[in-house]
Amino acid sequence: MAPRPSKIWADYPIKDIKRSKEFYSALGFTVRELTHDGDDFISLTIGDNGFILNLFPTERFERGVKTKVLDTTGTNEVNFSISADSKDEVLAWEKALLDIDADIISSPEEMKEGWWVMRFADPDGHRWVILNMKN
């Protein structure tokens, strides 16, 4: 029998710790006050289920994964979706993102009846989706 994972988290390379901390904090992500090996990094908790996103300076990230990072301005390495409970919540996300001058990739749109979606990028070009799949 295969082992069962108890928790999952993701790591992103970033260029500017302070800028990323401000960006994600403004969107309501919880900054976990941790230090790691004495180097700068940010650990965030997203949502109510405890999903963790760690943000590492690019050089440190590359050392850890033993490869170079992609230029995220023209590529997409992963697609994280954040659930929204309604169209109005999708619109609220859009407003919050516009308030911090985030890069809106696509404005809210109905992708099929009752399903609303919008896309944005963080300061390093990592792409996110806000998705409502309910009326």
Residue range 28-72, pLDDT digits in tens: 999 887 765 556 788 998 888 888 999 999 998 999 889 898 887
Judge if 84 and 113 occupy the same domain. Answer: yes
Of the residues 10, 33, 68, the one at which a domain ends: 68
* Whether residue 56 is found in the same domain as residue 10: yes
Q: With respect to residue 73, please indicate whether it lies within any of the assigned structural domains.
A: no
pTM above 0.75, yes or no: yes
91 and 126 share a domain? yes
- Residue 59 sits in a domain whose CATH number is 3.10.180.10
Is the residue at 74 inside a domain? no
Number of folded domains that form the chain? 2
Domain end (from 68, 91, 125): 68
The helices-and-strands tally (H runs, E runs) of the chain is 3, 8
Q: Are strands 51-57 and 9-14 parallel, antiparallel or unpaired?
A: parallel
Q: What pLDDT sits at residue 14?
A: 92
Query: Residue 35's domain spans which residues?
Result: 1-68
Measured CA to CA, the distance from residue 118 to residue 95 in angstroms comes to: 12
Query: Which has the closest alpha carbon to 125: 89, 71, 66?
Result: 71
Nearest to 70 by CA among 9, 19, 24, 13: 13
Tokens in use for 29? 């992500």
The whole-number pLDDT of residue 103 equals 95
Same domain, 105 and 61: no
Token pair belonging to 114: 């009752």
Please check whether residues 54 and 117 belong to one and the same domain.
no
* DSSP string over 53-65: EEEEEHHHHHHHH
- 2 lies in some domain: yes
